[in-house]
Amino acid sequence: MKTLTKYLCDKKQTGETIITPYIMAGDHEKGLDGLEETISFLTDCGAAAIELGVPFSDPVADGEVIQKAGLRALAKGVSLEKIVAKLQKMETRIPLVIMSYFNPIYNIGVEKFISELKNTNVKGLIIPDLPFEHEEMILPFLRDTDIALVRLISLTTPKERQKMLAENAEGFIYAVALNGTTGVRNAPMNDNSSHFKFLSENSKIPVLAGFGVSSREQIVNYKKVCDGAVVGSFIVNALHNGEFEKVKGLFS
């Protein structure tokens, strides 16, 4: 069992609410030099793992807040290669998960990219524009590593396909809470609670709700039907505005 899977499954077994914040790597006044500071802050807040976004010029799954964060990071010269180089010099207390579109990985070279991650605390990888049918473009390079490929499962995915995707999944199931892009808004949990219950019943690993999660109340409600949540736009926006108490409030 890979580190991320075991780490989060152990938390699931204790009943802990698993909160995984998303940040845009390099979206800091110090650029990538501020990354370790942000990771340390979120770890102290109680993050179970941290998802690191990679700035990209065509982020099809991201809403306005994360798009703007990506542009700020790109303006500071941040790239996937520079992020990996920075992570190779860092030690973290919790697992990191890189969220990148496939194009930046392809430009580096899949084999080279995965090889360079071996010297980091990156234990998970999310590629939102890589469908299950094309996972063989990266899985052969991950099989002998400690890096889990995390799958997203949407509300519109047919039940049989949800079961198939959940089978042998690693890390956690990223259960999309609403249709559309990421963003700060009130995802109508009462309307899609059956989605999370179904995934939880058919998955041996933690199921986390993501997209539109922006309050402690939502996280508490999602814990009733799954294991926790991924929080992105709310945290990205709060960190950018220096509203650190708002971020702490999500965890308690």
CATH number for position 32: 3.20.20.70
Residue 58 annotated to the active site: no
Residue 51 annotated to the active site: yes
Q: Answer yes or no: are the C-beta atoms of 177 and 192 closer than 8 Å.
A: yes
CB atoms within 10 A of CB 74: 16
Note down the domain range covering 168. 3-249
Report CA 234 to chain centroid distance, whole Å.
Answer: 14
Q: Answer yes or no: are the C-beta atoms of 66 and 99 closer than 8 Å.
A: no
Answer with the residue of higher pLDDT: 60 or 171. Answer: 171
For residues 37-54, give the mean pLDDT: 98
* pLDDT above 80: residue 62: no
* pLDDT above 70: residue 249: yes
Tokens of 99: 């969220």
Structure confidence at residue 252 (pLDDT)? 87
Domain total for the chain? 1
Structure confidence at residue 61 (pLDDT)? 64
Which of 62, 116, 170, 227 does the annotation list as catalytic?
62
Tokens of 45: 């807040």
For residues 62-86, give the mean pLDDT: 94
Which of 33, 37, 51, 135 does the annotation list as catalytic?
51
Structure confidence at residue 158 (pLDDT)? 94
For residues 229-234, give the mean pLDDT: 95
CA 62, 63, 68, 69 dihedral sign is: negative
Confidence of residue 168 (pLDDT cuts 50, 70, 90): confident
- List phi, psi (to 5°) of 18: -90, 115
Confidence of residue 188 (pLDDT cuts 50, 70, 90): low
* pLDDT above 60: residue 250: yes
Mean residue pLDDT across the chain: 92
Q: Answer yes or no: are the C-beta atoms of 187 and 158 closer than 8 Å.
A: no
* pLDDT above 50: residue 201: yes
For residues 11-25, give the mean pLDDT: 97
User: DSSP states of 228-248 as a string?
Assistant: EEEE-HHHHHHHHTT-HHHHH
Structure confidence at residue 179 (pLDDT)? 60
For residues 88-105, give the mean pLDDT: 96
* Residue 26 β-bridge partners: none
